Amino acid sequence: MTSETIRHNGARMSDILNGKGGLVLGTAGHIDHGKTTLVRALTGIETDRLTEEKKRGISIDLGFAHLTLPDQRRVALIDVPGHERFIKNMLAGVGGIDAVLLVVAADEGVKPQTREHFDICRLLGVTRGLVALTKIDSVRQESIAAATSQVQALCAGSFLEGAPVIPVSAHSGQGLDALRTSLATLSSSIPGRSTSGFARLPVDRSFTMQGFGTVVTGTLWSGELKTGDTVELHPLRERFRIRGLQVHGKPVASSAAGQRTAVNLVGVEAHQIRRGFVLAPPETFETTQIVDTRLEWLDAKYATRSRQTLHLHIGTSETMADVRLIQTVTPAQTLSRVSVREPLLILPGDRFVLRIPNATIAGGFVIDAFPPIRLTRAKTAERLKTLAEADDMARVELLVAESAQGRRLANLMRLTGWTQPKIRQLAEANPRLILYEAGQRIVSSTWLAQKRQQVIKWLEAFHASNPAAKGAPTHQIRSVLMSGVEPGITDFILQNIPQIRVEGELVALTQHQAQLNPEEIRARDRIEQIYRDAGFQPPSMQDALANGGIAPARARAILEALVKDGKLVRIAPDMIFHGSVLVHIRKSLASQKGRRFSVPDFKSWTQISRKYAIPLLEYLDRQHVTRRDGDMRIVL
């Protein structure tokens, strides 16, 4: 994508691309108030590209242009249609703007779409802008004054209160220099968007360009895109490579947050992508269909309805949504659950608008994009109020505390939209959170302390009931105390507890020493003697326990202690030899280094059956005393 002469639907590529991080400016205003004419006068670019637009003389879809200001800053201009029938197209354009250029014709003043566009910008969280009073060459001064007064009344108490109202004529050029100067002042007051977050580009247009293939355009909301990157297209969840990028009609190696960007994708057809899809990094985000929100209602009668189906506009997408009241905050504000009909990539903080077929009735922001759905309404409302007021650190803390065993970093990235370094930094700065590095997980320090205290209390009871045991098997602690907890987290819980010690698969209180009563001492000696006397043909573990002279459960603990001490050696799950037998075999083989022998040879030497010979030889292989070589073995 290099030629300035390449056209799409009659527009040059340079007309399609616009923006240089820092300021994306959207027009707003009533139909036929001169938005497109004003953009053309400012930029020299005709944003009405469709044949129908040219035929009817009105904007139907989004138009794009760019402008170089007197201070050499570049501004991306998104020209939106003013007709009420095309509000959905207007909404697809204003979701990513930094500021609004509200256009009001001096001969008509504030009209219905002026008010609706203004309300939409306010609901979407636009905080900066200015007003252009157009067509001043066709009216008297009194009309200009009256229109100015109407605009000021409309903007009173809003983000546009006190904003410049600049009289202009796109035909004569009067006021255009003043408008450019005001745009430069506005642009310099808006900080550039950070590129440290994840890239997210809502698609507002997809088309095929000859010689390049599929091209999608949109405003890059956050992060950075680079030529050669692989991106994931939501909600398709398919990955494609970026062949090329353009900004201002010129190829670039990378595109930054706040820039109008054209992305040339490899491996996908333009018809597979539609407005509302989102480009993002692979394996980072998931789509959702249920979000919890805070809404502001333009008409309070809608706020009181417990359930209603409305049109949702978020980013560049439009879909039907079921809106359910959770709690009324004020007569015009509610906490509400919004369920959309199709999966969307939505993150906390995203703003949106709700409409009925011919009017905008509400807007708001997402508090939680993946809310728990089994809470009561009262608990849900309490949780949402906490989340809505929480800073970043508090949000991570709440999300971690809600999960029984903390949350993986990847899960927190999906829930917050934040990068892993940011989440790590927030966790490390919070004494109430613990980063479990090996498990890539953050847990609550309170939960961790509670679990560790449970382990200590349980071990106290275990030692009281099993004084002869050196410790409790780790698997027993997992079964009793760690149901549902991942094995790695269990190990993490058991680490660094001063009051306990972990020895292999046994866990014990630090001060615990195995204590046997006289009966248990006799049983220990009896069990050991049983195996010593059996030599190369040991009994089954069941038989040995039955002859221990005490209850099998107590005898098992004693047997395991003998194995732990090395007095007995388990060579198979149900086969144990006395340690002296293994010592004798090792000594006998040590003098035969390099000798090859068969299983029959080994049976002849030891006078044991195959039942014992095979497990013994396999044990010796594992201990690197011997090595199997086909049907033979070699003494190492």
SS (H, E, C) 225-293: EECCCEEEEECCCEEEEEEEEEECCEEECEEECCCEEEEEEECCCHHHCCCCCEEECCCCCCCEEEEEE
Residue 11 has what pLDDT?
32
Q: Check whether 614 has a pLDDT greater than 90.
A: yes
Residue 6 has what pLDDT?
27
Q: Check whether 53 has a pLDDT greater than 60.
A: no
Residue 115 has what pLDDT?
92
Residue 90 has what pLDDT?
62
Between CA 279 and CA 264 the distance in angstroms is 12
Answer whether 201-280 and 290-383 agree in fold: yes
The mean per-residue pLDDT over the stretch 571-583 comes to: 92
Between CA 430 and CA 54 the distance in angstroms is 59
Q: Check whether 325 has a pLDDT greater than 90.
A: yes
Residue 16: phi, psi to the nearest 5?
-80, -35
Q: Check whether 12 has a pLDDT greater than 80.
A: no
Residue 408: phi, psi to the nearest 5?
-70, 150
Lowest average pLDDT, out of 117-126, 338-347, 380-389, goes to 117-126
Region of 487 (left: φ > 0; alpha: ψ -120 to 50; beta: rest) is alpha
Identify whether the C-beta of residue 299 lies closer than 8 Å to the C-beta of residue 349: no
Pick from 34-48, 242-256, 359-373 the range whose average pLDDT is largest. 359-373
The mean per-residue pLDDT over the stretch 191-215 comes to: 88
Q: Check whether 16 has a pLDDT greater than 70.
A: no
Q: Check whether 52 has a pLDDT greater than 80.
A: no
Tell me the β-bridge partners of 404.
406
How sure is the predictor about 139, in pLDDT bands with cuts at 50, 70 and 90? confident
Return the number of other C-beta atoms located less than 10 Å from residue 534's C-beta: 16
Residue 89 has what pLDDT?
66
DSSP secondary structure code for residue 21 in this structure: T
Q: What percent of the chain has pLDDT over 90?
A: 58
Residue 345, token pair as written in the block: 């990539």
Mean pLDDT for the chain overall: 87
Could you tell me where the DSSP H helices lie in 535-608? Answer: 541-546, 552-565, 579-590, 599-606
The mean per-residue pLDDT over the stretch 163-169 comes to: 94
Q: How far is CA 96 from the centre of its chain?
A: 20
The mean per-residue pLDDT over the stretch 159-165 comes to: 93
End-to-end Cα spacing for the chain = 68
Lowest average pLDDT, out of 236-240, 245-249, 375-379, goes to 245-249
Residue 61 has what pLDDT?
54
Tell me the β-bridge partners of 75.
67
Residue 60 has what pLDDT?
41
How sure is the predictor about 260, in pLDDT bands with cuts at 50, 70 and 90? confident
Q: Check whether 59 has a pLDDT greater than 80.
A: no
Domain ranges of the chain: 22-189, 201-280, 290-383, 518-635
> Higher pLDDT residue, 90 or 45?
45
Architecture of domain 201-280 in this structure? Beta Barrel (2.40)
* SS3 sequence of 81-105: CCCHHHHHHHHHHHCCCCEEEEEEE
CATH topology of domain 518-635: Arc Repressor Mutant, subunit A (1.10.10)
Residue 304 has what pLDDT?
93
Residue 431, token pair as written in the block: 């004494």
Lowest average pLDDT, out of 36-50, 455-469, 537-551, goes to 36-50
How sure is the predictor about 93, in pLDDT bands with cuts at 50, 70 and 90? low
Which of 600, 576, 602 is CA-nearest to residue 588? 602
> Higher pLDDT residue, 337 or 504?
337
Treating both helix axes as pointing N-terminal to C-terminal, what angle do 610-622 and 599-606 enclose, rounded to 10 degrees?
110
The mean per-residue pLDDT over the stretch 574-583 comes to: 93
Q: What percent of the chain has pLDDT over 70?
A: 92
E strands present in 45-88: 63-68, 74-79
Residue 591 has what pLDDT?
85
CATH class of residue range 22-189? alpha beta
Residue 13 has what pLDDT?
29
The amino acid sitting at 204 is: D
The mean per-residue pLDDT over the stretch 416-431 comes to: 95
- The pTM (predicted TM-score) of the whole model is 0.76
Between CA 201 and CA 345 the distance in angstroms is 11
Residue 76 has what pLDDT?
81
CATH class of residue range 290-383? mainly beta
